Amino acid sequence: MARKLDERGVIIEFLPSGSYVKVSAFDPVTMTEVSIVGNPASGEAVLRHNVMRKLKYVLEKNSPSRPAAGRGKLV
């Protein structure tokens, strides 16, 4: 089972660049970093929510207790 992500410990960085903003999230416990690119007009809350969803997805995907993805089984 994957550990519960402590959202307060996640470092989030906003880097505006012209007509878009790059948002990065870093989990210091697992040393995992993800980033998204979004419209600055979306607002900080929406961008923060989206990058946290991606971080949770990546952490779950890389979780060692997760069964191997694939088609079929080796018999």
pLDDT of residue 7: 76
Q: What is the C-alpha to C-alpha distance for residues 25 and 16, in angstroms, rounded to an integer?
A: 15
Q: Is there a domain that residue 37 lies in?
A: yes
Q: Is there a domain that residue 67 lies in?
A: no
Q: Is there a domain that residue 1 lies in?
A: no
50-72 average pLDDT score: 83
- Residue 24 domain boundaries: 7-61
Overall domain count for the chain: 1
Write out pLDDT tens, residues 19-59.
999 999 999 999 999 999 999 999 999 999 999 999 999 99
Closest CA to 30 of 68, 54, 58, 66: 58
